[in-house]
Amino acid sequence: MAKKVALLQGNEACAQGALYAGCNFFGGYPITPSTEVAEVLSGELPKIGGKFIQMEDEIGAMASIIGASLTGAKALTATSGPGVSLKQELIGYACIAEIPCVIINVMRGGPSTGMPTGPGQSDVMQAKWGTHGDHAAIALVPASCQEIFSETVRAFNLAEKYRMPVQVLYDEIVGHMRERIVFPEPGELEVINREAPTDGPETYKPYDSTKGQVPPLAAFGSGYKFHVTGLNKADDGFPTTKASLVDAEERRQIDKVTDNIADIESYEEYLTEDADVIVWAYGSTSRSARYAVNELRKEGIKAGLFRPITLWPFPEKRTAELAAKAKAIVVAEMNLGQMIYEVERVAKGACVVVGEFRVDGDPLNPGQIMTKVKEVL
């Protein structure tokens, strides 16, 4: 049987990917350029018994998905940079309380209101460092409508598997372009649900590290009663200031990500085997970069593309390996320099690292990237 095919906008593909992953709760607030995610889910979730709620603001939206997740729902919100700024305190709460949820950030320019209808990639550091304190972060950066679908599914899987918020970052270009989407059959893409406790309600502890780096999570309303707090806590969920417990909790929550890089990390390489110069690009900018690499090859310049799909945790090992064998890395991004500092950090001077940036509301084009490559060779 032929698979279902549709011409979908990136934001529509995101909504469909969420449904495929089992999303049954959306809490959000309209904001350009992400609103179509909410628009689609407002119509689709009631059809499957799910819940859609438009909150009074982005703070309330984040609070709603935290509460829904604690009842066992697979919960999603969608916004843009200013909305993520408002969500930061509650993102930190979801981190320390280990509450699975997915946050879509359709990036635009900034700071503040910036350019609501134009693309940007200036929220990539926000995804890692936006909220305070030591915490792990997972952020994915799809570059096509089909990939938005599949990476939204993967975001839910990672959130459920590691009990934490996961962000999906794509920019206005990919969010609003339309491309052919092939819908995977049920079961074709893996769908992961959080681990439920095997202990009875009387003995269950929501942060019991003896159960592993990611303790099972019961659902409110299922007969389990437990305490949830934004404070450091013991394994029963109640606050503690005991130094050894606080230290162990902080380290476990970071280790559950850093110890599982191989499971979380994803990237694409294109013509990097013999490349003298690597174009390091993500999201819609990587599409221009791929075209630039092809054109440079026609001119006899050995260029290649490295495209992170998981941006956080940062792909340190492979970036360092490429830096060790290339003459130069050109980091192309729609900001005034953010991921370039991570590339420089792991390259450790092994090769030249330069950036090609743009923040005027237009996308980085292949010609700009080609010019920069020629400058460094």
Query: What is the phi/psi pair of residue 8, to 5°?
Result: -125, 145
Q: What is the pLDDT of residue 42?
A: 98
Asked if 283 and 142 count as a contact pair (C-beta separation under 8 A), the reply is: yes
Fold: same for 5-182 and 268-376? yes
pLDDT at residue 2, rounded to an integer: 74
Q: Write the pLDDT tens digit of every residue in 69-122.
A: 999 999 999 999 999 999 999 999 999 999 999 999 999 998 999 989 999 999
Average pLDDT over residues 270-281: 98
Residues 272-294: what's their mean pLDDT?
98
Q: Which residue has the tokens 């592993």?
A: 212
Distance, in Å, from the CA atom of 225 to the CA atom of 222, rounded to the nearest integer, reads 8
| Cβ–Cβ under 8 Å, residues 104 and 152 | yes
* pLDDT at 205 > cutoff 80: yes
Q: How do the domains of the chain map onto residue ranges?
A: 5-182, 209-262, 268-376
Structure tokens at 156: 């839910």
Residue 242 has pLDDT above 90, yes or no: yes
Q: What is the CATH number of domain 268-376?
A: 3.40.50.920
Global pTM reads 0.97
Nearest to 324 by CA among 355, 354, 347, 307: 347
SS3 for the chain is CCCCEEEEEHHHHHHHHHHHHCCCEEEECCCCCCHHHHHHHHHHHHHHCCEEEECCCHHHHHHHHHHHHHCCCCEEEEECHHHHHHHHHHHHHHHHHCCCEEEEEEEECCCCCCCCCCECCCCHHHHHHCCCCCCCCCEECCCCHHHHHHHHHHHHHHHHHHCCEEEEEEEHHHHHCEEEEECCCCCCCCCCCCCCCCCCCCCCCCCCHHHCCCCCCCCECCCECCCCCCCCECCCCCECCCHHHHHHHHHHHHHHHHCCHHHHCCEEEECCCCCCEEEEECCHHHHHHHHHHHHHHHCCCCEEEEEECEEECCCHHHHHHHHHHCCEEEEEECCCCCHHHHHHHHHCCCCEEEEEECCCCCCCCHHHHHHHHHHHC
Tokens representing residue 285 in the block: 């900018």
Residue type, 286: S
Please give the average per-residue pLDDT across 16-29, as a whole number. Answer: 98
For 5-182, the fitting CATH number among 3.40.190.150, 3.40.50.970, 3.40.1440.60, 3.30.70.1400 is: 3.40.50.970
Q: What number of other Cβ atoms are within 10 A of residue 372's Cβ? A: 21
29 strand-pairing partners: none
Q: Which residue type is seen at 96? A: I
156, HSE (Cβ side, Cα atoms, 13 Å)? 31
Q: If you average pLDDT over every residue of the chain, what do you get?
A: 97
The answer, yes or no, to whether residue 201 has pLDDT greater than 70, is yes
pLDDT, one tens digit per residue, over 116-166 is: 999 999 999 999 999 999 999 999 999 999 999 999 999 999 999 999 999
User: Residues 170-175: what's their mean pLDDT?
Assistant: 96
pLDDT in tens, 37-59: 999 999 999 999 999 999 999 99
CB-CB neighbours of 155 under 10 Å: 27
State the pLDDT at residue 1: 61
Position 3 scores a pLDDT of 85
